[in-house]
Each structure stands twice: as C-alpha cells, then as structure tokens.
Amino acid sequence: MKPPVVLILGPLRSAVSGVSTHLNVLFGSALERHFRMEQFQVGSAGRNETLPGRALRLLASPFLLAAAIVRNGATIVHINTSLDAKAYWRDLVYVLVAKLGGARVVYQVHGGAIRVFGKNSLMRKILARTLAWPDVVVVISQIELESARELAPRQRIELLPNGTRCAEILSARDHAQGAAPLRLLSIGRLVDTKGIFESIEALKILRGKGVEARLTVAGSGPQDQALRR
C-alpha cells in the first residue's frame, strides 16, 4: 500500500528563515515513515527574478500548484503561512486550489497576530470566514489558539509549537562540552506572541528536572518589564 502524499508549501529549504527550518524538521522527522512528502516552493528566496518575472510567477503559481497536486497524487496539502497581507491573500488562493483539487488542507499560521490582523471589522469577518475553509488550522502559541477559536469556534484548531531536533543539539553539546551547563539564547522582539514566556516556563521545567541551564534573552519590546519580573 502506497503511503499518502503530502504536498508541503514553503520557502526554499536552504534559506535562513524560521519556516525553512520548520520544513527541514518535517522532512527529517518520523513522518517520512508514514507519508511521502514533497515540497512546492513559494516565496522569492533563492530566485533571481525581475519584478515582471515575479509577477508572472505569482500569477502562474496557482496553476502550477494544481498541476503538482495532480502529478504527485497529493491527498494532503500543508500550507505554511503568516498573517501579513501579502502571504495571507496569496495563500488563500492556494487553499482554494487545494480544496478544488480534492486534497485535505492543513493551514499552519507561523507569524502575525490574529487579533491584530483582524482588528478591522471587515477583515475580522473575512478572516472568520476563511479560517473555516481548511480541514484543520494549526497555530503555534496559546494566545493564537484562543484568538482563532474566538473567530472560528466550529473549526478544528490545533496548538502545535514549532519543534526542533533536541536530541541532536544535546548530543552535540555533550560531545563538545562534556557536563557544561546548557546555554540557551533567544533573540527577537519581546512580545507575548514570540513564545518567550513559554521559553521561561520550559527553563523552569528543565531546572526542576535537575538540568543546569541558562537562558539569555536579547531584544526589546512592550513585554520587557513583565519578562524582567
């Protein structure tokens, strides 16, 4: 019996970005034992294109996606998106193409805040309607889960924080430093949607298990004082 085919939409995997890292983790995970995973590249990373060439690619991409679904026999399309205007409207077309092609759609939101993106009343209505289109919506933080469920209470919405290959990191640390303390670094804007509070909770869990660890936080933002407390 052939494994189901999952077509994963995302940027060039060799690019330096959070979603590229996410894709590499997926392709190197145990999911490969149960699914045949193929990528459909979106975004301009790694492409040497002119402005007209970029416009032509964007116009052609829905048709290319439809062809990729048929060519690979994909039954699941995994769309990695973010809540900024450019990505949202582009990927909304991909959701429609995938559904019309008979595939089930996993719609994973990596960036942007739902409550901010949908603060305009008209945009909020559009977002509430379109969140119901995929078969499942995946968010990466508790606050986004609550916001999404408020907008689309009947939709299946799952909280799945971004993962990493912890075993590789820990084995490399042990090999290089022996029993040295685990040193962690977080670089980013200090807002609750970036997961920094969850990182601090994770540090508490590690210390509770006897793991000596130190977290260094670099950045600025509105949650600076709350994080210091």
Question: Is there a single domain that holds both residue 46 and residue 152?
Answer: yes
Within this chain, do residues 53 and 104 fall inside the same structural domain, yes or no?
yes
Final residue belonging to a domain, choices 118, 134, 159: 159
Range of the domain at 34: 5-159
Do 199 and 150 lie in one domain? The reply is no
pLDDT score of 17:
82
**3-class DSSP assignment, residue 227:** helix
Q: Are 195 and 161 in contact (CB under 8 A)?
A: yes
Q: What is the reported pLDDT for 65?
A: 97
Cα atoms found within 13 Å of the Cα of residue 52, Cβ hemisphere only: 0
Predicted confidence at residue 111, as pLDDT, reads: 82
CA 151, 156, 159, 163 torsion-angle sign: negative
Residue 219 backbone class (left: φ over 0; alpha: ψ -120 to 50; beta: rest): left
Q: What is the CATH number of the domain that holds 144?
A: 3.40.50.2000
pLDDT of residue 109: 95
**DSSP label of 33:** G
131 and 42 in one domain?
yes
Give the model confidence (pLDDT) of 5-42 as tens digits: 999 999 999 988 888 989 999 998 899 899 999 999 99
pLDDT at 170 (0 to 100): 64
Specify whether 222 is located in the same domain as 118.
Answer: no
Residue-wise pLDDT tens digits, 90-133: 999 999 999 999 999 999 999 888 888 888 899 999 999 999 99
Domain count, the chain: 2
Confidence class for position 149, pLDDT limits 50, 70, 90: very high
Residue 171 burial (10 A CB sphere; 0-12, 13-18, 19+): exposed
Nearest alpha carbon to residue 19 among 111, 150, 117? 111
| Sign of CA pseudo-dihedral 63, 114, 136, 125 | negative
Nearest Cα residue to 29 out of 163, 171, 202, 160: 163
Question: Which residues in 91-129 are b (16+ Cβ under 10 Å) and which e?
Answer: bbebbebbeebebbbbbbbbbbbbbebbeeeeebeebbe
> Is the same domain home to 195 and 112?
no
Instruction: Point out the domain boundary residue: 130, 159, 188.
Output: 159
- The tokens describing 99, both together, are 């559904």
Which residues sit opposite 10 in a β-bridge? Answer: 41
pLDDT tens for each residue of 45-96:
878 889 999 999 999 999 999 999 999 999 999 999 999 888 999 999 999 9
SS (H, E, C) 58-75: HHHHHHHHHHHHHHHCCC
